[in-house]
Structure 1
Amino acid sequence: MVNPMEAGDAAAGVFTTSEDTRLMTKVARLYHEQGVRQPEIAKRLNISQPRVSRLLKKAVATGIVRTTVVAPRGVFAEIEDEVEQRYGLQEVVVADTGEEDDEFVIAPALGAAAAFYLETTLTGGERIGVSSWSSTLLATVDSMRPRNSHECESVVQVLGGLGQPSAQARATHLVGRLVQVTGAKATYLPAPGLVTSDATRRALLKEDSIAQAIDAFPELTVLLAGIGSLLPSALLRASGNAVSTEDEERLREAGAVGDVCMRYFDAEGKPVKSHLDNRILGIDNAALLAIPRRIGVAGGRRKHEAIRAALLGGWINTLVTDSATAAYLRDAAR
């Protein structure tokens, strides 16, 4: 028995271009504007449902129907795409911080955005390297919610603690909290991030607990780090910044504008050979740049130049930042 709707299709024969366009438009308006379901459209127009489906697909292909995604307030999809394309990044996440440039306001917003990003992208097998503490990283891990399943395999501290003992305790908290919320195994780097001499650094590298962390660096799949500028944050100053004013000046004279894990770079992102290199107890340039996903969580006007340089040099390939910084990065790349 012949379906009457199919018979109607057959009787209609081959449509001319204008007839085809008229029918596509009618079907598209019924479906997309009036919310009429495909079976009802077929019944109303006396054509088959498969034909309705074909017409809807053709309406999209010919441009009669154009899909537009309208981002709600506080979502910055367009500028995220622009910054990704201009710097060749894997992903950019922009947090809404309004007009604020106060780091104590920006840090919680960036932390919440980074926490959500991590919660939705960790698949269970990652080995995460975590830089020494920063206000944004602390806000990130404190915003994450514990899960019942293992969200990653291991968390490794990639830079020793910086500043006073209380600041080094924050570095331990950073790793411990991330382990708590992901169910991962922790590997700590129980040492200062900056020691007094190369001899001290070499001696500490012989310690089993420190060697264990260093040996884990080549296996890391994700890096979670802040992006530092030469002008330290208020939180770092209050903690007893391990880099002295004299050291900062020498770094500035060498052309440094920022760092990731105390590995310094110039305005174009090129590594700056630092007098501190042989005193740093942490991941080196080669091991850092070999990590497939390198997430930087940073924002604020004070860090604009450092963030841009970090992106240009490939130190970071995934960025969580604020809307004003994203706009600066977009405009600076033009």
Structure 2
Amino acid sequence: MKIAMRDQRKFAARASWYYYKTGMIQGDIAKRLGINRARVINILNEARNDGTVTFHVRGVDSKLMDLEEKLKEKWGLRDVFLTPEVSPEQIKNDLSMAGAQYLEMTALEESLIALGWGETISGITRNLGRVVPETTTFVTLCGGVMHYLSERTTANMGTPMTGLVYPFHVIPTPLMVGSSELRKQLLQEPEVQRVMNMAKMADMALVGIGSLMPSTEFGHFGYKSQIELELLKKRGAVGEIHGEFFNVKGEQLDLEHHQRLITTHLETLVKMKHVVGVAGGEEKVEALRAAFKGGFIHSLITDEMTARTLLF
């Protein structure tokens, strides 16, 4: 009940902000929040009655929404969704929760949602409620995701064979294989082709952005020592998505291991309908800036402190 009330207040604050502060019409607000127009009208009426709206939108969400708009304008993003400032220890979990809430607010009937690789993205499935339409289908953007899903099962997600609420189509390979020849062979497999082609057609994709800090998951791509990390930095790498590294200008680097990845490549992400980056923390700022420049992500889910840093 407390969670439901909190989400109701969040809807009220956001709907009020869009209506009174930005001048957005009720129909557009309904589309933005993933609800019908009648509910928007009720929310706005309740917001006036309960004091959410006086001469300004009250509550912590008002300052976050102002920051969201500034960040959208600064980087030309389609959408920004922020969480309040959190401790470094909690940031991954909070971003996973925010990603789930973003899906609950925006997913439409019969949506195809693609999910990337990593702990933060896999955490979205653990936090996903039944608010997302039951006609929603999920698909993976790269290999290696089953590793996370098998360790962190959720009652709301399943493979096409399980019959659970949301069907989940998984690329049945590792993220990185031992040779480019093996990668080519696997890419010829009908099931791999089917799921990868499906992923490209997603209505929305959620991806993590990796940095070059020793604490991140770059070791999965063969860079396991500080020396190797420094060599990678000398090549100009500042961040990665699904193991593909890029430089500060948002340009993909030419690295040997890129030829061994089974993934939806960066150049494909640029062309997809809507790619949402989910990342936060001081160590991700440079990588996020580069991802914006490369056009790899169209929207962002992050924390308040990271957002403020990205404005400068």
Shorter-normalised TM-score: what interval? Answer: 0.7 to 0.9
Matching of residue 241 in structure 1 with residue 225 in structure 2: no
> Residue 77 of structure 2 corresponds to which residue in structure 1?
89
Question: Percent of counterpart pairs with the same letter?
Answer: 26
TM-score by length of structure 2 reads 0.72
Residue 171 of structure 1, CA deviation: 4.3
> Residue 328 of structure 1 corresponds to which residue in structure 2?
309
Matching of residue 305 in structure 1 with residue 289 in structure 2: no
> Residue 113 of structure 1 corresponds to which residue in structure 2?
98
TM-score by length of structure 1 reads 0.68
Residue by residue over 1:92-131, the C-alpha shift from the partner in whole angstroms, topping out at 9 and shown as x without a partner, is: 1110134x2x2x3111221222211110100023222211
Higher-Rg member (1/2):
1
> Residue 208 of structure 1 corresponds to which residue in structure 2?
190
The AA in structure 2 aligned to 1:241 is H
The AA in structure 1 aligned to 2:79 is E
> Residue 148 of structure 2 corresponds to which residue in structure 1?
170
| Distance in 1 between residues matched to 2:193 and 2:144, nearest whole Å | 16
Aligned residues of 2:208 and 2:241 also touching (Cα < 8 A)? yes
Aligned residues of 1:149 and 1:183 also touching (Cα < 8 A)? no
> Residue 134 of structure 2 corresponds to which residue in structure 1?
150
SS in 2 for 1:150: coil
Residue 203 of structure 1, CA deviation: 1.4
| Distance in 2 between residues matched to 1:171 and 1:251, nearest whole Å | 29
| Distance in 2 between residues matched to 1:285 and 1:117, nearest whole Å | 23
| Distance in 2 between residues matched to 1:233 and 1:92, nearest whole Å | 26
The AA in structure 2 aligned to 1:69 is H
The AA in structure 1 aligned to 2:113 is I
Which of 265, 270, 273 is the aligned partner of 2:254? 273
How many residue pairs get matched?
252
> Residue 69 of structure 1 corresponds to which residue in structure 2?
56
Residue 303 of structure 1, CA deviation: 1.0
Unaligned 5+ segments in structure 2 are 1-53
Aligned residues of 2:130 and 2:156 also touching (Cα < 8 A)? no
Distance 1:116 1:217, change over 3 A: closer
The AA in structure 2 aligned to 1:307 is L
Point out the more displaced range, 224-233 or 245-254.
245-254
Residue by residue over 1:223-278, the C-alpha shift from the partner in whole angstroms, topping out at 9 and shown as x without a partner, is: 111111122545x37xx634323664443222111012222211122222222221
Distance 1:174 1:284, change over 3 A: farther
Residue 90 of structure 1, CA deviation: 0.9
Aligned Cα root-mean-square deviation (Å): 2.7
Unaligned 5+ segments in structure 1 are 1-66, 163-167
| Distance in 2 between residues matched to 1:80 and 1:182, nearest whole Å | 35
| Distance in 1 between residues matched to 2:192 and 2:150, nearest whole Å | 14
| Distance in 2 between residues matched to 1:146 and 1:185, nearest whole Å | 13
